[in-house]
A and B are shown apart, each in its own frame.
Chain A
Amino acid sequence: MLTLLQRVTQGSTMKNTDIKRLFYAHLLCVFSIILSTFVPSFFLESFSILETHLTWLCICSVSVIAVNLVLYFVVKPNVSSKRSSSSHKVARFLKCCIYFLMSCFSFHVIFVLYGAPLIELVLETFLFAVILSTFTTVPCLCLLGPNLKAWLRVFSRNGVSSIWENSLQITTIASFIGAWLGAFPIPLDWGRPWQVWPISCTLGATFGYVAGLVLSPLWIYRNRKQLTYKNN
């Protein structure tokens, strides 16, 4: 972490290459979402986002998680901790899985508190929780590890310490806002198939995530002069 941060703060060229890497990584994520919408129709009969929405949710979630994992191993934005024994790695992985499941369940509870049906459409609601966790919790786990303190730090004022964390902040907030905005068309009487719970919300979250992915490198690039990250 230290080395990376020093590099970031040292020179603008380093910073620019980092932003470039960030941009390509994000493009890969966007690409995976696009692929998950088009590729399955070659293998599956009558596949479409709206008709077989749950299938698409699973595929999209799996592909985004896969891309995140690949990025984690290839780009290594965050230098892993000092101990690197295999048993520690396994424990860490298990912890990540538990965190992911926990976040899925807590999102589900929050959706129900916000007015989602309690008994009906449980699977739909849960898969929405899974996809939102994929867009928010998985990148957090990849970047920060199962470390709640670090998460809390990143999501508070002046808490970010690298462009990776900054982009994480932006994409996560964008996903949440997208999911929130997705709830607004539900009461309208347009009678469209995508107004059914939770399709508009999942689509909103996806659009929010994609928008966050595209916008965050651009925003960081525009504000690269002002952005200085403290090492803490």
Chain B
Amino acid sequence: MRWLGIGTVYLQMQKVSVLLFLAWVCFLFYAGIALFTSGFLLTRLELTNHSSCQEPPGPGSLPWGHRGQPGACWMAARFSRVVLVLIDALRFDFAQPQRSAEPPASLPFLGKLGSLQKILETQPHHARLYRAQVDPPTTTMQRLKALTTGSLPTFIDAGSNFASHAIVEDNLIKQLNSAGRRIVFMGDDTWKALFPGAFSQAFFFPSFNTRDLHTVDNGILEHLYPTMDSGEWDVLIAHFLGVDHCGHRHGPHHPEMAKKLSQMDQVIQGLVERLENDTLLVVAGDHGMTVSGDHGGDSELEVSAALFLYSPTALFPSTPPEEPEVIPQISLVPTLALLLGLPIPFGNIGEVIAELFSGGKDSQPHSSALAQASALHINAQQVSRFLHTYSAATQDFQVVELRRLQNLFSKASADYQWLLKNPQGAEETLKTVAAELQQFLRGARAVCIEFWARFSLVRMAGGAALLAAACFLCMLASQWATSPAFPFYSLLLIPVAWGVAGAMVCAALLATTGLKLDVVVLAAVAAVGSLLPFLWNAWAGWGPGRPLTSLLPIPRPILLLLLIRLAAFFSDSFVVAEAKATPFLLGSLILLLVVQLHWEGQMLPPKLLTIPRLGSSAPTGLPRHSGTYALRLGVGLLLCTRLAGLFHRCPEETPACHSSPWLNPLASMVGGRAKNLWYGACVGALVALLAAVRLWLRHYGNLKSPEPPVLFVRWGLPLMALGTAAYWALASGADEAPPRLRALVAGASAVLPRAVVGLAAAGLVLLLWRPVTVLVKAGAGAPRTRTVLTPFSGPPTSQADLDYVVPQIYRHMQEEFRGRLERTRSEGPLTVAVYQLGSVYSAAMVTALTLLAFPLLLLHTERISLVFLLLFLQSFLLLHLLAAGVPVPSPGPFTVPWQAVSAWALMAAQTFYSTGHQPVFPAIHWHAAFVGFPEGHGSSTWLPALLVGANTFASHLLFAGSRLSTAPALALPV
């Protein structure tokens, strides 16, 4: 917004250089954001390929020719059935055996799973406990994805469906289904979203209420043993949530945790008693928890989970080691797949737990080693196939790394084949081959982690620094722009030249060294290259005498508020509570403004203010404030803010909070009467919006001008409102339409939004073309041109009116006319009468705001129109309050006060939340992509991205875009 100041001061300056300067600043910001997100937003492409039984992962015979055997795919099945007990947030030390020599455990969570310890001691060849290393993010949904696909879920798994969490990648559940196994599930209903329709029998229980420790667990226990005894299953999955919820509610150091873990211990004991010989029991935690019981990050306590395997038949050749082995959690995926005789899921990058394939304690060392090596070989073939397919689809992996891995794999594979042909090979050679295969698997996993699951701190820091520098540049420029000798041209040219040079040098360096050309890095280099000379110039031109405080002309209370807002972003609690904290800060700012007005004595009995206006003797001595004027404005603003806060969507992190039902579309409402009432209210809001804008424009006489934008306001706006209302009616009642009208309804709901958007675009173009809606009349007869009376109606509407710009434009017009008259050599003095100069600035702004509001309104659900109405009211009241607070304008260039900028920004953030948004991926309004495109978009992605982006940043667009039309309005000659 402060760029406006630049535009206003230099009416005669070349517009081009200003625009170029702004474009350059935009480029700086985008380069910084791109650099930061490339380091922060971990992305991964989801491949939809599937492994299948008939298709082995690589050339070469499968071990022992099991292909023909029923129930065996890549390897013979060792178990026909599996019981998987997932205990959410089962940290490793919860399950760790306690040595009896030590004093009894004092912490409530230690040594409570006594049955595990007993089994490990009495049946050492039947059971193993592992410390499973979990990959961040340690949230349940991502962990479940990893535990079934064997991959590394990132924040954005590109290719996932809009608004659906169902896993599209190949996974264990899918393989089990295609092998015809019956899966029975009970517990956390997250599985329902991830695997719709995959279970032969399922008992889902709600997972969102973390305060409830028992509903899910007791529900599972009700069904667990009966199901187990019935025998109607091949795979039984039970996902317990009690431990996780207990951690969230009480933390691990609470006696409740001891009770919960003891309950889990009894569950395991009961299961072990019921196990049959062909069944494998897996007890796993999906992630750990911190000291306070939370999870999601990558701290040591969060990423170490327990993994326990047990079978009634002997599995392991040796007794368990003293300290449980550390394995990656996703090792479970290929291990389970091969043990059950299934193909390993296509995208798996886990490594089989080799010792499980040794064949029990009685097997020969040689055959045991061969079995292990063959399992590893199949695993390695599968991972190699995946890497090959993945690198063909994207450019994520570096060629050098891939080549190294490929060499490793070829060597190990050749060795293995050689061994198969010469079966007399010693056990030692087999072990070497197994080690080689393991080395390849670990290398592949390390490469994947590096590209998918590791933040690039350098890029993040670089991006943040670039953004900070760009902000600093904006601040400098906004200060300098007010001084008359601001050299835009030279300041622009040199940095850009430097930037281009830097980018070219960088590109050449990259090209010569054979590295991949990264657009993001190039842009960042260009940005830094252009920023540095600018800052150097600034430093050199600063001058020794000037105090540094002149850099920060922000009033101290405003600065404090801004600092509080900045500090809030560094506290996760405040980030979660931002929807409430922002209106609070906005309210504080508003009250501060009101109190300040009073404190400065500007609200005391109205006094006449004489504003010196250049060249005009306009009667500007307007009565500014009555006693409670500002107070009423302030209370009205607070009221609007609070009402908008009623449209609130809860962040995921606060389960006790209830989202407003008003955010749902009208189509989801059941009651006919309530629906009609709401529809009436929404249309009422539209009409009120329109009427307010028209009344406002008429009040200041802007409707009189014959300019095209005015005509558009008179006729185009009602048309747009009509279209919007009709679209809402169709959208909310489409299901109730009679069948023969279906096609018509579908057509209309595609056409209407497009028509409204088209009208809005036309209006904006008109406004950009002829932004000044003033009425100019010229007539002969008056004695002097200098003493023109400017009709100025009503009180000033915004701080803008009181500024330098109005007289400036006026004078400009005057000279323009005089020049024209002189050119035509007409004799005699002339009078130029100009109307609506008082609102020349705000009228364009209001029109632009309304035009922008309609398409954005269409992208939201119907009832958000009430929020938009509140938004208009709020900005109107705020501008009046700011206008009341602006001191008598000093002669000099036009500046926007910091109060206005801060309040405007806070209001944009507040509206972001009150339009039902939250800054998290699950809260994105995907439905916006289908407004005007009920059939979807086919393969194009930029248009849905644009629509969803416009929906998400609607408030920012409105608050920033309201200034859009005014900037050129000030730079254009009339």
8 Å CB interface, B620-655 against A: 635, 638-639, 641-642, 645
B588 touches A180 (CB 8 A): yes
Min CB–CB distance A154 → chain B (angstroms): 11
8 Å CB interface, B782-812 against A: none
Residue of A nearest to B572 (CB): A189
Q: Is B587 an interface residue (CB 8 A)?
A: yes
B583 touches A155 (CB 8 A): no
A114 touches B599 (CB 8 A): no
> Which among A114, A152, A188 is the interface contact of B587 at CB below 8 angstroms?
A114
Cβ–Cβ < 8 Å partners of B638 in chain A: 110, 113-114
Q: Is A59 an interface residue (CB 8 A)?
A: no
Cβ–Cβ < 8 Å partners of B580 in chain A: 115, 187
Q: Is A157 an interface residue (CB 8 A)?
A: yes
Cβ–Cβ < 8 Å partners of A84 in chain B: none
A113 touches B599 (CB 8 A): no
Which size class do A's interface residues fall under? 10 to 19
Q: Is B577 an interface residue (CB 8 A)?
A: yes
Cβ–Cβ < 8 Å partners of B641 in chain A: 113
Q: Is A214 an interface residue (CB 8 A)?
A: no
8 Å CB interface, B559-591 against A: 571-574, 576-577, 580-581, 583-584, 587-588
B604 touches A113 (CB 8 A): no
Min CB–CB distance A219 → chain B (angstroms): 18
Q: How many residues of B contact A (CB 8 A)?
A: 23
Min CB–CB distance B729 → chain A (angstroms): 32
Q: How far is the CA of A103 from the CA of B556 in the complex (A)?
A: 29
A187 touches B577 (CB 8 A): yes
Q: Is B600 an interface residue (CB 8 A)?
A: yes
Min CB–CB distance B887 → chain A (angstroms): 14
Cβ–Cβ < 8 Å partners of A114 in chain B: 583-584, 587, 638, 642
Q: Is B601 an interface residue (CB 8 A)?
A: yes
Cβ–Cβ < 8 Å partners of A115 in chain B: 580, 583-584, 587, 642, 645
Q: Is A101 an interface residue (CB 8 A)?
A: no
Cβ–Cβ < 8 Å partners of B601 in chain A: 156-157
User: Which of B576, B638, B639 has the most chain A CB atoms inside 10 A of its CB?
Assistant: B638
8 Å CB interface, B700-755 against A: none
Q: How far is the CA of A188 from the CA of B587 in the complex (A)?
A: 20
8 Å CB interface, A112-171 against B: 112-115, 152, 155-157
Dominant secondary structure at the B interface: helix
Q: Is B598 an interface residue (CB 8 A)?
A: yes
> Which among A110, A152, A180, A189 is the interface contact of B573 at CB below 8 angstroms?
A189
B587 touches A113 (CB 8 A): yes
Min CB–CB distance A181 → chain B (angstroms): 10
Q: How far is the CA of A113 from the CA of B580 in the complex (A)?
A: 12
Min CB–CB distance A105 → chain B (angstroms): 14
Cβ–Cβ < 8 Å partners of B577 in chain A: 187
Residue of B nearest to A189 (CB): B573
Q: Is A49 an interface residue (CB 8 A)?
A: no
Report if A113-B639 is in contact (Cβ < 8 Å); known contacts: A155-B598, A188-B571.
yes
Min CB–CB distance B952 → chain A (angstroms): 23
Q: How far is the CA of A180 from the CA of B574 in the complex (A)?
A: 16
8 Å CB interface, A166-203 against B: 180, 183, 187-189
Q: How far is the CA of A155 from the CA of B599 in the complex (A)?
A: 7
Q: How far is the CA of A114 from the CA of B604 in the complex (A)?
A: 26
Cβ–Cβ < 8 Å partners of A112 in chain B: 642
B642 touches A183 (CB 8 A): no
Cβ–Cβ < 8 Å partners of A157 in chain B: 599-601
A156 touches B599 (CB 8 A): yes
Cβ–Cβ < 8 Å partners of B572 in chain A: 189
Residue of A nearest to B653 (CB): A189
Cβ–Cβ < 8 Å partners of A183 in chain B: 584
Report if A152-B588 is in contact (Cβ < 8 Å); known contacts: A115-B645, A187-B576, A188-B571.
no
Min CB–CB distance B591 → chain A (angstroms): 8
Q: How far is the CA of A155 from the CA of B598 in the complex (A)?
A: 8
Contact with A along B593-617 (1 / 0, CB 8 A): 0000011110010000000000000
> Which among B573, B583, B598, B604 is the interface contact of A187 at CB below 8 angstroms?
B573
Q: How far is the CA of A170 from the CA of B802 in the complex (A)?
A: 35
Q: How far is the CA of A157 from the CA of B638 in the complex (A)?
A: 25
Min CB–CB distance A103 → chain B (angstroms): 15
Q: How far is the CA of A181 from the CA of B581 in the complex (A)?
A: 12
Contact with B along A43-56 (1 / 0, CB 8 A): 00000000000000
Min CB–CB distance B22 → chain A (angstroms): 37
Q: How far is the CA of A187 from the CA of B635 in the complex (A)?
A: 25
Q: How far is the CA of A187 from the CA of B568 in the complex (A)?
A: 11
A113 touches B642 (CB 8 A): yes
> Which among A156, A188, A189 is the interface contact of B598 at CB below 8 angstroms?
A156
Q: How far is the CA of A114 from the CA of B598 in the complex (A)?
A: 20
Q: How far is the CA of A180 from the CA of B561 in the complex (A)?
A: 12
Q: How far is the CA of A142 from the CA of B588 in the complex (A)?
A: 28
Q: How far is the CA of A188 from the CA of B598 in the complex (A)?
A: 34
Min CB–CB distance B857 → chain A (angstroms): 26
Q: How far is the CA of A115 from the CA of B581 in the complex (A)?
A: 9
Residue of B nearest to A190 (CB): B573
Cβ–Cβ < 8 Å partners of A155 in chain B: 598-599
Cβ–Cβ < 8 Å partners of A188 in chain B: 571, 573-574
Min CB–CB distance A173 → chain B (angstroms): 10
Q: How far is the CA of A118 from the CA of B355 in the complex (A)?
A: 63
Min CB–CB distance B603 → chain A (angstroms): 8
Min CB–CB distance A198 → chain B (angstroms): 14
Residue of B nearest to A185 (CB): B573
Min CB–CB distance B565 → chain A (angstroms): 12
Min CB–CB distance B44 → chain A (angstroms): 31
Q: How far is the CA of A152 from the CA of B601 in the complex (A)?
A: 10
Min CB–CB distance B606 → chain A (angstroms): 14
Q: How far is the CA of A113 from the CA of B631 in the complex (A)?
A: 14
Min CB–CB distance A145 → chain B (angstroms): 20
8 Å CB interface, B642-678 against A: 642, 645
Cβ–Cβ < 8 Å partners of B587 in chain A: 113-115
Residue of A nearest to B602 (CB): A156
Cβ–Cβ < 8 Å partners of B576 in chain A: 187
Residue of B nearest to A106 (CB): B635
Q: How far is the CA of A183 from the CA of B645 in the complex (A)?
A: 17
B604 touches A156 (CB 8 A): yes
Contact with B along A89-119 (1 / 0, CB 8 A): 0000000000000000000001011110000
8 Å CB interface, A40-78 against B: none
Cβ–Cβ < 8 Å partners of B571 in chain A: 188
Cβ–Cβ < 8 Å partners of A189 in chain B: 572-573
B642 touches A152 (CB 8 A): no
Q: How far is the CA of A77 from the CA of B588 in the complex (A)?
A: 33
Cβ–Cβ < 8 Å partners of B639 in chain A: 113
Min CB–CB distance B628 → chain A (angstroms): 10
Min CB–CB distance B909 → chain A (angstroms): 15
Q: How far is the CA of A110 from the CA of B590 in the complex (A)?
A: 12
Q: How far is the CA of A155 from the CA of B484 in the complex (A)?
A: 40
Cβ–Cβ < 8 Å partners of A187 in chain B: 573-574, 576-577, 580-581
Min CB–CB distance A178 → chain B (angstroms): 14
Residue of A nearest to B574 (CB): A187
Residue of B nearest to A153 (CB): B604
A152 touches B584 (CB 8 A): no
Cβ–Cβ < 8 Å partners of A152 in chain B: 598, 604
Min CB–CB distance B558 → chain A (angstroms): 15
Q: How far is the CA of A189 from the CA of B638 in the complex (A)?
A: 27
Min CB–CB distance B656 → chain A (angstroms): 12
Cβ–Cβ < 8 Å partners of B604 in chain A: 152, 156
User: Which of A112, A114, A157 has the most chain B CB atoms inside 10 A of its CB?
Assistant: A114
- Cβ contacts A to B, 7 pairs, < 8 Å: A113-B587, A113-B635, A113-B642, A115-B587, A152-B598, A180-B588, A188-B571
User: Which chain A residues have a beta carbon within 8 Å of chain B's beta carbons?
Assistant: 110, 112-115, 152, 155-157, 180, 183, 187-189
Other A-B contacts than A115-B583, A183-B584, 4 sampled, CB-CB below 8 A, are: A114-B587, A114-B642, A156-B599, A189-B573
- Which 9 interchain pairs have the tightest Cβ spacing? A187-B577, A113-B638, A188-B573, A189-B573, A113-B642, A187-B573, A114-B587, A156-B599, A156-B601
